[in-house]
Copies of this chain bind each other. A is one copy, B any other.
Amino acid sequence: MTFDPSTLTFDAAGLIPAIAQDDETGEVLMMAWMNAEAVEKTLATGRVTYWSRSRQSFWVKGETSGNIQELTELRLDCDRDCLLVKVRQTGPACHTGRRTCFYTAIKDGAEHEVVTL
């Protein structure tokens, strides 16, 4: 079946969550949002492209920092309302300089930083 991004289920703002996962290590790196055109751009260019809700513009990951995400596989879920993008990540995914945005774990009711810079 030919894939048409417009057949995905978007929220009221026209966005769908996209989970980025390191294709080699399996580490979940970040979650951001795409609109239909960002999905198209990601597939067409092989460079993961999100929609920045704060800037209201396309966000080619790593365009300014160099920390690009090369798409290795795009998956959608059973409800067609969430994407999983498997990537080859150059440098850190997180703007803090950490490999992953998920560097804080809850242990015994407290926050602990478990991924260092």
A102 to B76, CA, bound (A): 5
Interface residues on A, range: 35 or more
Q: Produce 1/0 per residue, A79-117, CB < 8 A to B.
A: 100101000000000111010011111110111001000
CB-defined contacts of A103 to chain B, threshold 8 Å: 75, 78
Copy total for this chain: 2
| Complex CA distance for A1 and B113, rounded to whole angstroms | 10
- Nearest-neighbor residue (CB-CB) of A30 within chain B: B77
Is the beta-carbon distance between B110 and A2 smaller than 8 angstroms?
Answer: yes
Residues of A within 8 A of B (CB): 1-3, 17, 19, 21, 25-28, 30-31, 43, 73-79, 82, 84, 94-96, 98, 101-107, 109-111, 114
